[in-house]
Structure 1
């Protein structure tokens, strides 16, 4: 992965914005993405921000980045674009010189990570898979998850794939597990979460036979973040109308 610029001068700050979590392991997993971007793009100013639980808040990091560098691209470290992307992050990038990229998903590389996690967990022929996402009341987030589910069905020919949500959408993960029981010998939850924490703990208690590990850490997540940043930086350079909106 090549550097974006010969030096950091003039490049927008990359603000990696995650939800925030009380989980020590969850914080480490998200930090692995941010640190991976720093290693992959050593000339780039990469800063971390949050929409809840942790600080600094994304609006404050954007404001500081505009003061320091004159431009900032917020990359949501979120798998789907729900309330936090369309409201919290969108408000944070309202000032001139700031914009937000889309969420990390959907993306074929996320499907590839899910397949690797399923293989690592020992899933195989005869197992029914529940793609388990955090969930959102925003219908656009569910559409993004369904796109990933379609990709996983194409990439995982060993059994049925159904979708379940931790909150904000239906079916719930336990209901999806119950449906999957009628479709396979075992039920394997494919954790469509970036990191351990509250929602992953709920997956472990949802009644499946196997639960895969979350997606982070993984170098493909770093690649997606860099690609999202490039798109946002290009929009700022073009002065694209509406570039501040995710």
Structure 2
């Protein structure tokens, strides 16, 4: 039986976003054909991680999420509780994502790092860490303040002529589409479209194997 890499995405109603996540997972599977690479979700789509975990053995869970928050601490943690299945760190913050954002940013007077939004302190801290590395202003597409459109408008008032949004979002969806209505001059593509992200997913998987092996010694 093949070892399992169980990827866990948030889930989206966007057909484009669904396809992008499936394509990312398929790219991971092509790179490591000796693995049983499966996809599950914490919200919106099926199958949910709690339904998949009982059917897998010798598995590692890799959250296809950019920051740790409720879905990691509660949804994923509850799904694997008592199973011994390790859960890797989230995909972000990471230099792979930083390089992807930087490659896709045009010349601009100001950059806004636009994330989904969360009240979770750890989630917000990791988002600010990425923004600091990118030398960008932090804004959120949903929930938390400051909102992306408000930050863009404030930068315009302060004299910025060209504003770029660095989309700190993995796939297309409602949040990503709002960025194109926020008044900036450009928006970077969803991160999962970058081929290097598949390598990052595998690096997270391999790091969990090393940690587990070290713990057994």
State TM-score, norm by structure 2. 0.93
Given that residues 162 and 180 in structure 1 are in contact (C-alpha distance below 8 angstroms), is that contact kept between their aligned partners in structure 2? Answer: no
- CA offsets per residue over residues 182-231 of structure 1, 9 Å max, x none? 25212211111111111011111212222222112222111111111112
- CA offsets per residue over residues 117-150 of structure 1, 9 Å max, x none? 21xxxx21x5211110001110111111111112
Provide the residue aligned with 2:18 in structure 1. Answer: 27
* Structure 1: unaligned runs, 5 residues or longer: 1-7, 154-160, 241-246
Provide the residue aligned with 2:79 in structure 1. Answer: 92
Q: How do residues 155-234 of structure 1 correspond to structure 2 at under 5 angstroms?
A: 161-181=136-156, 182=158, 184-234=160-210
Given that residues 51 and 58 in structure 1 are in contact (C-alpha distance below 8 angstroms), is that contact kept between their aligned partners in structure 2? Answer: yes
Given that residues 132 and 191 in structure 1 are in contact (C-alpha distance below 8 angstroms), is that contact kept between their aligned partners in structure 2? Answer: yes
* Structure 2: unaligned runs, 5 residues or longer: none
Aligned-partner SS, 1:112 = helix
Task: After superposing the two structures, state which structure 1 stretch, 165-174 or 185-194, moved more.
Answer: 165-174
Q: Moved runs in structure 1, 4+ residues, more than 6 A? A: none
Aligned mates of 1:225, 1:32 — CA distance in 2: 13
Q: How do residues 1-246 of structure 1 correspond to structure 2 at under 5 angstroms?
A: 9=2, 11=3, 13-65=4-56, 69=57, 71-118=58-105, 123-124=106-107, 126-153=108-135, 161-181=136-156, 182=158, 184-239=160-215
Aligned mates of 2:170, 2:82 — CA distance in 1: 29
Aligned mates of 1:237, 1:93 — CA distance in 2: 19
Given that residues 142 and 169 in structure 1 are in contact (C-alpha distance below 8 angstroms), is that contact kept between their aligned partners in structure 2? Answer: no
Aligned mates of 2:70, 2:121 — CA distance in 1: 10
Given that residues 14 and 46 in structure 1 are in contact (C-alpha distance below 8 angstroms), is that contact kept between their aligned partners in structure 2? Answer: yes
Aligned-partner SS, 2:177 = helix
Aligned mates of 2:27, 2:83 — CA distance in 1: 28
Report the Cα offset of residue 167 of structure 1: 2.2
State TM-score, norm by structure 1. 0.82
Aligned mates of 1:101, 1:183 — CA distance in 2: 43
